[in-house]
Chain A
Amino acid sequence: AQSVTQPDIHITVSEGASLELRCNYSYGATPYLFWYVQSPGQGLQLLLKYFSGDTLVQGIKGFEAEFKRSQSSFNLRKPSVHWSDAAEYFCAVGAGNNDMRFGAGTRLTVKP
């Protein structure tokens, strides 16, 4: 069955520091992968997606992610974190039956 694992429940980084959020997926075919961000009381906003092609994907707000098939990973990165990046981040995989499977999320705290 398709699944997504986000190993880190909570990450704290200092403003200006680099960030990497981990995502591992389990899916039999070529996956369709997504990263979403959710601020408190808000819906989900798409940061970036991977369908095929170049394995390094650029997204909004300076985020990027790299698809590594050999490691079944799709980690999200940002070179310099801003205080406004504090939020919950979800990795998701497009699965069969027209659904998307989300990970449990990683909460990002940014220290001043």
Chain B
Amino acid sequence: ETGVTQSPTHLIKTRGQQVTLRCSSQSGHNTVSWYQQALGQGPQFIFQYYREEENGRGNFPPRFSGLQFPNYSSELNVNALELDDSALYLCASSYRRSGTSGSYNEQFFGPGTRLTVL
């Protein structure tokens, strides 16, 4: 069984640029959630994707967007990068049964992508 993987491991961008982060979900999982973890803080929920559609969003601006593909892998895109976007971005996958809330199933986290914005 393959766990959650994320790429790249580290990334350095400059303010105003755009970035795409990738996540491969664990085998058998159909839901992907993205979190931002700033230094010294707990993860903050960005959004969740279920069956290729956004299925819940935290308090993040529209320049944070995502995609989920038919194989349940996912991308997180951030446009117009700001210095405060520097953080560890975590992806988590889970299996959600139809008709249940995805938030309450066990989420398996990837190792994260460390994004630095200069």
| CB–CB B42/A43 < 8 A | no
Q: Which residues of B contact A83 (CB under 8 A)?
A: none
CA distance A32 to B106 in the complex (A): 11
- A87 CB to nearest B CB, Å: 14
Known interface pairs A101-B45, A105-B42. Does A43 touch B104 (Cβ–Cβ under 8 Å)? no
| CB–CB A98/B109 < 8 A | no
- B63 CB to nearest A CB, Å: 19
CA distance A96 to B58 in the complex (A): 10
Q: Which residues of B contact A44 (CB under 8 A)?
A: 43, 90, 92, 109
| CB–CB B42/A99 < 8 A | no
Whether B66 sits at the interface, judged by CB under 8 Å, is no
Chain A residues touching B, range: 20 to 34
| CB–CB A100/B103 < 8 A | yes
| CB–CB B112/A43 < 8 A | yes
Whether B20 sits at the interface, judged by CB under 8 Å, is no
| CB–CB B42/A102 < 8 A | yes
- B55 CB to nearest A CB, Å: 6
Q: Which residues of A contact B101 (CB under 8 A)?
A: 94, 98
> Of residues B33, B58, B102, which shows the largest number of chain A Cβ atoms within 10 Å of its Cβ?
B58
| CB–CB A32/B103 < 8 A | yes
Q: Which residues of B contact A99 (CB under 8 A)?
A: 33, 45, 48, 56, 58, 103
Residues of chain B at the chain A interface (Cβ within 8 Å): 4, 33, 35, 40-45, 48, 55-58, 90, 92, 101-104, 106-112
